[in-house]
Amino acid sequence: MAKSLPVRDDFRKRLTIQLGVAVFLCIMFGIGAYLLVGRISAAGALIKQEAQKKAIKEQSIEALATLRSEAARAAPISETLKAKLPPRDAVFNVAKRVQEIAAGAGVKTTFAFGVETPGTSETAARVNFEMSVTGSLAQARQFMHALETSEYLVTIGSVDWSNGSARVNGSIYYQPPKEQ
């Protein structure tokens, strides 16, 4: 019986070593799997981000193609509109026309030109204006409608109505200079 004890101790020793190695290998496998999953997740996130960038680029290219198509279709209409706009010199006679429209609507006005924005081959030129309109609300509305439907292309940007008087800001459009 004395001989079986060392075999048992030897068996336990080898079993402990093999279990230790097995546990170590399992831990290493777990760490490797954890790192691999982390790298796969990072790669997946990068792929998703690149896919989103690609989708945005595709949408941008599609929007650009649509804009180019619409611009080509709008060019003849735009040229017709520009041809109907008054020349720059005629716009600066608008103050007199504003007074005529005001008299017809029964309001009093003061009119001043503001910043001028030169046009390009693609956009009409414009000059901003500011004016005050004094009269009843109905008269002021009639005046602004008459101004917007006059021979000038006028846009009203803002109207501040207070105590029977309005402060009006807008723009008048005219032909851009001819390219040379």
pLDDT score recorded for residue 153: 87
DSSP conformation letters of 26-95: HHHHHHHHHHHHHHHHHHHHHHHHHHHHHHHHHHHHHHHHHHHHHHHHHHHHHHHHHHHSPPHHHHTTHH
pLDDT score recorded for residue 90: 83
pLDDT score recorded for residue 180: 46
The answer, as to whether pTM is greater than 0.75, is no
pLDDT score recorded for residue 49: 93
pLDDT score recorded for residue 102: 92
Strand order in the sheet with 108-117: 108-117, 125-134, 165-174, 153-162
pLDDT score recorded for residue 176: 77
- In degrees and rounded to multiples of 5, residue 171 shows phi and psi of -140, 150
Exposure class string for 61-99: b at 16+ Cβ within 10 A, else e: eeeeeeeeeeeeeeeeeeeeebeebbebeebeebeebbe
pLDDT score recorded for residue 27: 93
pLDDT score recorded for residue 115: 92
pLDDT score recorded for residue 5: 63
164: left (phi over 0), alpha (psi -120 to 50) or beta: left
Q: Write out residues in the chain with pLDDT < 50, as ranges.
A: 1, 180
pLDDT score recorded for residue 160: 92
Map tokens 């998703």 to a residue: 48
pLDDT tens-digit map of 13-50: 888 999 999 999 999 999 999 999 989 999 999 999 99
